[in-house]
Amino acid sequence: MKIGVFDSGVGGLSVLKKIKEKIDFADIIYYGDSLNSPYGSKSVEEIQKLCLEIGEFLIDNRVDIIVIACNTATAAALDTLRERFTSVPIIGVVQPGAAIAIKESKNRKIGVLSTPLTAKSRVYEKAIKTINSKYEVFQKGCELLCPMIERGWESSERNTELLKSYIEQLPNDIDTLVLGCTHYPLIREDIEKLIGNKKIIDPAEETAMQVLFELNKLALRTGFKKIKKDKIGIDYFVSGDIEMFRKVGERFLGEKLLNVYQPLIG
């Protein structure tokens, strides 16, 4: 079995990491569209077009499932991708993130840090309120974070101040903070230092659970035997700067990224 995972760059590695921890019988193809990053300041139409191209690439590479490891792409293109590619399940990160945030929040006030597009789409508010309308959701778009993480974020006083300026724009009485951009788990420690005892939600964990659930369903349906691999194969396709991707990715994953290629699209 093969899992296709994509993001606008390195952020989706936070989802890949959790998938790797939970699934040992499937290989992974990761697509990082860093040439077109950041998605968060593009139009919905532009993002849909890019996601359709990536979807084709993954389907051509025979994946059994597509994971949109990007909140912005989930907000802009989940439905579009599901309409176009009907042969495989397609999973986004917002629904899993919303479900866990609801479980964790006690005072029903949830904050979400995300890209400007995700914040503007109010996708988390909609997902959370669909499950339970009694929750309040506050979203803050953080324009500068994704590009800075993509280039290799350094923990510094200046960057802490920037993070603080975003967090301070959320109400102080939220008890739960969703990392509503898959790049943000890469700087989780810096965020944690600034939010006191609020709970941090990283949708990646629950997303990986959903991927496992879908693959189990598929295995049952097709009679596929899930055999544990000693080491799953991961191929990385990066549309932009491969060396930068490798550097930031290796730092986050704590391992060498061996098979990194430039795709023919992008």
Interface residues for ligand DGL in 28-87 (CB under 6 A)? 37-40, 70-72
Using CB under 6 A as the criterion, what x/- string covers residues 165-204 for binding ligand DGL? ----------------xxx---------------------
Of 177 and 181, CB closest to ligand DGL? 181
- Report the candidate in 217, 251, 224, 240 with the shortest Cα–Cα distance to residue 91: 217
**Residues counted in the chain:** 266
- Give the one residue of 8, 95, 121, 176 binding ligand DGL; rule: CB under 6 A: 8
Interface residues for ligand DGL in 10-29 (CB under 6 A)? 11
3-class SS at 7? strand
Using CB under 6 A as the criterion, what x/- string covers residues 108-147 for binding ligand DGL? -------x--x---------------------------x-
Of 132 and 169, CB closest to ligand DGL? 169
239 touches ligand DGL (CB under 6 A): no
Copy the structure tokens of residue 64.
């059994």
95 touches ligand DGL (CB under 6 A): no
Give CA–CA dist 170/161, Å, rounded: 15
Of 108 and 147, CB closest to ligand DGL? 147
- Closest contact distance (angstroms) between CB of 219 and ligand DGL is 29
Residue of 51, 70, 142, 146 with catalytic role: 70
Give CA–CA dist 52/227, Å, rounded: 31
CA distance readout (Å), 77 to 41, 47, 51, 67, 215: 15, 7, 7, 12, 22
Number of residues that bind ligand DGL (CB under 6 A): 16
Distance of CA 152 to the CA centre of its chain: 17
Q: Where are the beta strands (DSSP E) in 52-196?
A: 65-68, 90-91, 109-114, 136-141, 176-179
- Closest contact distance (angstroms) between CB of 220 and ligand DGL is 31
Q: What order of strands is seen across the sheet that includes strand 136-141?
A: 136-141, 109-114, 176-179, 199-201
Are 89 and 115 in contact by the 8 Å Cβ rule? The answer is no
The residues that are catalytic are 70, 181
Q: Which residues are near ligand DGL by CB under 6 A?
A: 7-8, 11, 37-40, 70-72, 115, 118, 146, 181-183
